[in-house]
Structure formats: structure tokens, C-alpha cells
Amino acid sequence: MAVERVENDADVMATDGRVIGRRAIQTRRRILDATASLLREQGALDLKVIDVAREVGTSPATFYQYFADVEDAILCLAAELVERVPEFAGQIDGRWADDDGLDRARALVGSYTGFWDEHGAVLRIMHLRADEREPRFRRVRNEYNNQFMVVMVERVREGQAAGRLPQGMDPDATAGAMLSVLDRVPSYRESFEKRGTSREAMVETIARILFGTLTGVRTPT
């Protein structure tokens, strides 16, 4: 699925630093969408500029007008996903300790798992390159993760203030652990399903882990 995104002419430049016009922006968008589509089909290891250009129906020279290489295009796709995080972080915001807290957690995990289904190829590369300490991908991942971390830390501190969570739990460490659960487990969904774990069971399990850990509220059996 193409990413719906409206870019201002002044915000987009060619690789030589020139500001590009509306038609060029549309070509650049097609290149990004083609890159994302091919990543889902074949992964990044063997993806070449000529493959993307062929998918778009243009030349490698046109690709290089907008991106230095395939990884540069993937970095741009990852940066776009940062802009999607508020819709998920917003589901963590608010009083999770209320009666509908577990339902909120289920909704979050369900929608975020769908997000991984759609954009997992880009997210995996973002995490891999950031883990390899590539500075551009580390910067993008930090922007991505920090939005989750802020609201998760707030939930832990609320639980501690209410006496539901022990003071010995470091809020940042707890939030980081829960973000790892939320952000990494869906990437293994296919492996789980091959072993007999349904998507619904995975969502329910992650939701209960997140809810119980971030709030200290005992989940119903």
C-alpha cells in the first residue's frame, strides 16, 4: 500500500541540492512506493537500483536524481514511519488503569501488529542498521522510539504513585522492555503461526503483558 503523504515543494530536494517541483515530487513518491513494495517481496539484500527503476518504469539515472542508493530510499521510508507513531503512542496516553484499560491495550497491539504487517520490511531494516550503529538510522530509530517511551514512562510512574507498581522498577528500563515486546514480537508473527500460535493469541498475550507491566493492575483471567 502506498504511503499517503503530501510534501511541500520547498521541503524536497534532488541529490544535487536543487529544490524539485511537483512533477518530480510525484516521481520521487513512485520510487519510494516501488522500493517499499519490492522490499516486502524480496527483502533488501538483493534489491538493486535497477530493480526499483524497472518497477517504476524509469531509468536508474532518474532514481539517482533523488536518492544516493537503495539504502537512502529505505532511510526516507523509515523517516516517514516516524510520523505515524503518534497514532499509536496516543493509544497508550491516558488512564490505562481504568476499567477499559485492557481493551485499550488490545486495540493498541492489534493496530500496531497491522502496522508491522504493512511496514515490517522497512522497520526490520531500520532496527538492523541502527543496531549496527549506522548514525542516520540510529537517529531515525531514536525519534521513532522516543515517542513510545515518553507515554510508557508516564504509565509506569502513575502505577508507582498509586502503589500498584514497586518503586524498584525503573520507569525508563520498564518502558524500554515493553517497547521491545511491542515492537519486536509482531515481527516474528509468521514463525509463531507456523508453530500453531494464532494472531489473536499473540495480540492477547502482548496486550496483557503490556497492560499488567505498565499499570500494575491485575488482569482478569
Give 76's contacts (C-beta < 8 A, 6+ positions apart). Answer: 32, 67
User: Which class is 84-215 in CATH?
Assistant: mainly alpha
Give 144's contacts (C-beta < 8 A, 6+ positions apart). Answer: 78, 81, 82, 85, 126
Is domain 9-77 annotated with CATH 3.90.1150.10?
no
Answer yes or no: are the C-beta atoms of 101 and 83 closer than 8 Å: no
Answer yes or no: are the C-beta atoms of 55 and 47 closer than 8 Å: no
Number of CB atoms found within 10 A of residue 174's CB: 20
Q: Return the pLDDT at 3.
A: 39
Determine the length of the chain: 221
Tell me the CA distances in angstroms from 185 to 61, 65, 91, 191, 206, one per residue in order. 39, 37, 18, 10, 8
Q: Which three cell numbers stand for residue 3?
A: 504511503
Rounded Cα distance between 176 and 168, Å, is: 15
Q: How many Cα atoms are found within 13 Å in the side-chain-facing hemisphere of 173?
A: 4
Q: Return the pLDDT at 18.
A: 56
Rounded Cα distance between 198 and 126, Å, is: 26
Tell me the CA distances in angstroms from 18 to 53, 75, 79, 91, one per residue in order. 21, 20, 21, 39
What is the pTM (predicted TM-score) of this model? 0.85
Answer yes or no: are the C-beta atoms of 206 and 92 closer than 8 Å: no
Per-residue pLDDT of the chain (221 residues; tens, 9 = 90+): 333 344 444 466 555 555 566 788 899 999 999 999 999 998 888 899 999 999 999 999 999 999 999 999 999 999 999 999 999 999 998 778 888 899 999 999 999 999 999 999 999 999 999 999 999 999 999 999 999 999 999 999 999 999 999 999 999 999 999 999 998 887 777 788 888 989 899 999 999 999 999 999 987 76
pLDDT in tens, 87-143: 999 999 877 888 889 999 999 999 999 999 999 999 999 999 999 999 999 999 999
Which residues of the chain are in CATH 1.10.357.10 domains?
9-77
